[in-house]
């Protein structure tokens, strides 16, 4: 063959290998409102940046007439590219080829690109759209998942790992996303479950739809398995691009700094915090009043909304923000909000992103439900994550900081670098009402007018403790600041902490309260 014939042959082979599972399967994919695997990669990556590898890998199935089948790319596309100029490794399962099911060669392609990502120290993005382990390939399919889970674990904290669920993600397959850092889901397209509706019907005799069992909303709102929820695949890709702008390539780098920008004019801290200390407000408006261009990428927005977490920039530097949300359950820490915050803190710490904590909470949520759900064990995760974090840690106490909540929300005792408090801060063992009822019970009971006495004692307690000055007198608060100065103080603290270096005691690893 001449060179031009060989090139024509190559092109023909490439066309054949990248055709997916054929017209019918592609039409069925489109009818479900889904893009094809290749379209997804091209939509997510920078134009012309995608380079595909292992296009000609052949599938390894031999039983059930599998050897007679042609499965292009073995149902998964792998390669490298860039997002906003940042290098990434990527794979996308192709549901049009054998339902994107994972056989031996399919898994080998994924583990190879994961190994690449680890060697090149760049993020790995996995687009999941699959019926799970390829049933015809038996134990080789299971082995493939095991190989992926192992790599997910090894890559954890080394390179960012992003999972995008754009179709079914069933059975053991769900554990790869669960081991990664961020899971993206799309309304009416994503489904995640260990056991599907068929099995549930057989075993439990219950009928349930895929959507109700593990659809996007369920994963984003109820289970907390998903970190980002989008209404369309396009919106999901925009969210991924935005996330990538806040995080570094790997744990040896910092996120790329951006030009400094002031917050938008409509957000002013002074206007947001209510005069009445019992009145709720939306802490997201405070965040927007503090961060560059008021741009805040909220993580797990729908799950445990009593705590708000997400990425922003202050003076051009990426920061992770953790803020109690007084609008929901008064911003208490409970089982879910503790899990949510602790994991986020660990991500930021692993990837050199400073932590900014905004405190306004009455403490941990009381009650039998929380105690039985393990609020002790889960709440401890927050203490562990903050204590262990060595990135710059800046805390601002806006209003209430009572009891365990005061300690847990990155107090000096957990080695915050800077703790600032507004004059509205109330730092004490518990709220004035509860405290007065306990410590002045006798006086209140014996008074001629107990109600009047109660009020008097509450005021007495407030005067003594419900302020930031007692904590400031012990040095637990570094500076009591005017709310309008907050951005300036945080910004300075971040700049001055740029070269912070702190190491943990030598150990193989800690034993966090998982």
Residues found near ligand HXC in the complex (CB under 6 A): 98-99, 101, 131-135, 142, 145, 168, 170-173, 196
The minimum distance between CB 277 and ligand HXC, in angstroms, equals 51
145/465 with CB nearer ligand HXC: 145
Contact 434, 400 (CB under 8 A): no
The minimum distance between CB 226 and ligand HXC, in angstroms, equals 18
32/51 with CB nearer ligand HXC: 32
170/414 with CB nearer ligand HXC: 170
Strand bridging mode 182-186 / 191-193: unpaired
186 three-state secondary structure: strand
Tokens representing 281 are 């407000």
Contact 229, 301 (CB under 8 A): yes
DSSP secondary structure code for residue 133 in this structure:
B
145/364 with CB nearer ligand HXC: 145
Q: Where are the beta strands (DSSP E) in 152-215?
A: 161-170, 182-186, 191-193
Strand partners for 355: 320, 393
31/275 with CB nearer ligand HXC: 31
Torsional sign, CA 196, 76, 106, 163: negative
The minimum distance between CB 288 and ligand HXC, in angstroms, equals 41
153/278 with CB nearer ligand HXC: 153
Tokens representing 40 are 């997804």
Structure-token match 């055709």, residue found: 19
Residues contacting 91, CB < 8 A, separation 6+: 76, 77, 78, 79, 109, 110, 113, 124, 125, 126, 127
Angle value at C-alpha 193, between 305 and 72, nearest 5 degrees: 120
The minimum distance between CB 209 and ligand HXC, in angstroms, equals 12
The minimum distance between CB 102 and ligand HXC, in angstroms, equals 7
The minimum distance between CB 223 and ligand HXC, in angstroms, equals 19
The minimum distance between CB 59 and ligand HXC, in angstroms, equals 11
454 three-state secondary structure: helix
172/280 with CB nearer ligand HXC: 172
Contact 190, 251 (CB under 8 A): no
The minimum distance between CB 137 and ligand HXC, in angstroms, equals 8
164/375 with CB nearer ligand HXC: 164
The minimum distance between CB 232 and ligand HXC, in angstroms, equals 19
216/299 with CB nearer ligand HXC: 216
295 three-state secondary structure: coil
CA gap 161, 385 in Å, rounded: 19
CA distances from 374 to 85, 123, 230, 463 (A): 44, 34, 31, 35
The minimum distance between CB 109 and ligand HXC, in angstroms, equals 17
CA gap 97, 113 in Å, rounded: 19
CA gap 98, 87 in Å, rounded: 30
CA gap 252, 260 in Å, rounded: 23
75/320 with CB nearer ligand HXC: 75
């Amino acid at each position: 063959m001449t060179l031009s014939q060989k090139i024509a042959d190559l092109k023909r082979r490439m066309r054949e290998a990248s055709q997916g599972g054929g017209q019918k399967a592609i039409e069925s994919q489109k009818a479900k409102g889904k893009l094809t695997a290749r379209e997804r990669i091209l939509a997510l990556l920078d134009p012309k940046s995608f380079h595909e590898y292992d296009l000609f890998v052949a599938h390894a199935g031999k039983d059930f007439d599998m050897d007679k089948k042609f499965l292009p790319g073995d149902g998964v596309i792998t390669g490298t590219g860039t997002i906003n100029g940042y290098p990434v490794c990527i794979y996308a399962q192709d549901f049009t080829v054998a339902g994107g099911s994972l056989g031996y060669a399919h898994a080998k392609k994924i583990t190879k690109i994961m190994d690449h990502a680890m060697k090149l120290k760049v993020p790995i993005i996995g687009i999941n759209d699959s019926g799970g382990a390829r049933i015809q390939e038996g134990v080789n399919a299971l082995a493939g998942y095991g190989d992926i889970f192992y790599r997910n674990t090894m890559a954890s904290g080394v390179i960012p790992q992003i999972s995008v669920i754009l179709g079914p993600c069933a059975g053991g397959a769900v554990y790869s996303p669960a081991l990664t850092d961020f899971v993206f889901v799309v309304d009416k397209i994503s489904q995640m479950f260990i056991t599907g509706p068929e099995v549930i019907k057989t075993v439990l005799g219950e009928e349930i739809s895929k959507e109700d069992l593990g659809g996007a909303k369920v994963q984003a709102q109820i289970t907390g398995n998903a970190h980002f929820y989008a209404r369309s695949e396009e919106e999901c890709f925009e969210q991924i691009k935005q996330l990538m702008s806040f995080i570094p390539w790997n744990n040896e780098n910092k996120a790329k700094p951006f030009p400094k920008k002031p917050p938008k004019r409509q957000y002013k801290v002074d206007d947001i915090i209510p005069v009445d200390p019992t009145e709720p407000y939306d802490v997201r408006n405070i965040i927007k009043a503090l961060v560059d261009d008021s741009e805040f990428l909220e993580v797990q927005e729908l799950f445990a909304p009593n705590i708000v977490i997400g990425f922003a920039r202050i003076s051009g530097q990426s920061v992770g923000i953790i803020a109690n949300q007084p609008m929901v359950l008064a911003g208490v820490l409970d089982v879910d909000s503790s899990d949510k915050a602790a994991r986020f803190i660990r991500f930021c710490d692993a990837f050199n992103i400073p932590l900014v904590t905004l405190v306004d909470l009455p403490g941990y949520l009381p009650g039998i439900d929380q105690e039985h759900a393990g609020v002790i064990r889960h709440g401890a995760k927050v203490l562990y994550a903050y204590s262990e974090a060595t990135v710059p840690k800046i805390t601002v106490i806006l209003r209430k900081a009572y009891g365990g909540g005061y300690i847990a929300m990155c107090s000096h005792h957990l080695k915050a670098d800077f703790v600032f408090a507004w004059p509205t801060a109330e730092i004490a063992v518990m709220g004035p009402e509860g405290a007065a009822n306990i410590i002045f019970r006798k006086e209140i009971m014996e008074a001629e007018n107990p109600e009047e006495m109660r009020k008097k004692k509450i005021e007495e307690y407030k005067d003594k403790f419900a302020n930031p000055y007692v904590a400031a007198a012990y040095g637990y608060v570094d500076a009591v600041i005017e709310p309008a100065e907050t951005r300036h103080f945080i910004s300075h603290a971040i700049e001055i902490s740029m070269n912070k270096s702190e190491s943990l005691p030598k150990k193989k690893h800690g034993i966090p309260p998982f």
